[in-house]
Structure 1
Amino acid sequence: RLRRRHLRHLHPRGGGQRGRGATSKMRCIDVAALFAAAILRRNPDSIVIPFDTSAYDAKIDPNDSILSIAERLAKYSGGGTDCSLPLVAANQKHAKRKFAGIVLVSDNESWVGTGRHGSTGVMTAWEAFTSNQRKLNGGAASPKLVCIDLQPYQTVQACERADIMNIGGFSDAVFNVISAFLADNNQRFVAEVEAIEL
């Protein structure tokens, strides 16, 4: 269980087909929807924002079954990707709520939208989000961003730093790694990462 409110952003890219050598027949949207549903069930005050080239206002009952929630989320499928949109939506629609972090689940192939001064749209929107959260928290702790790239390639939307973690691929271990990272529990975070079999 995650300790505080979190935003879950789900990219329901319709295709998400795996290439030769893949170890799973699941589509990216299925994995992302199941992840969001599992987190929402354990953390009912979290917010899920599905996106493609638009951010969607999904009304989801956290008391539904995980499979029911995942099935509902999997219906949000489009063809484009703008990973900054759920952050922009959070900045606009949820600016008065305090959050410990954001988990962005996508194939991370964001080709729509750009940021300021050559940065990605994700980084521009993330800076606005963290600035607002610091104001809400009286200058105290900043939230963290976790980008889960379900089909990792060579690029990321947000560069790794103290408040940003990129995860390539997905397994059950992701839940514990994310929980430790968002909780600022460095010892547990290191232990969780070291426990993962490669």
Structure 2
Amino acid sequence: MSGAGAPDFFYREAQRLGYVARSAFKLLQIQNQFKLITSGSSVLDLGCAPGAWLQVACQSLGPPRNGGSVLGIDIKKVKVPHVHCDSRVQTVCADVMNLPKSKLKSLSPKEKGFSVILSDMCPIVSGITTRDAALSVELGMQAVNLALGEAALGVGEVIHGKDKDSIDDSTSASDCDGVLRKGGHLVLKLLESEDTQVGC
């Protein structure tokens, strides 16, 4: 019998399999269906706490001899889980909303960007669904901006109060370019409300 707050199947399975959170199964399902992370991939995990997606990403790279890397970024310090992770996984404590793309690219292998960008970022949930969904969209747009850079901006759109036409010589070229490599993959999580649901 399960009541409010009782551990569910995925929570128990996560514990049994050594994952730090049940969210591991979200990425496992995506990975099983689409195989986005392969041997040698360079993976960026935005909002990586508590580390379950780091674990799945590292597992998906295969054995260490296959190469690849996983970089997790979170506003709070995250310790790399010792189960399912190896030396290819690193974490950085930083605020994604204020992280220059040039700095992020400098953390990528050979400073060439990432082949897979994951964002399971979630705002501090208030319980007000429209507010939480709006904050989730803001985090998602920042992930898109970091991944695609200027390519993510449509004509007249504004990100962080700066529209496309206002980018001038004082903005470095690397801050206009995204950190997702050509042909790479971007995975985003967004919270939904009645106002933000998208029809299929």
TM-score (norm 1): 0.38
Point out the structure with the larger strand share.
Answer: 2
Name the larger-Rg structure.
2
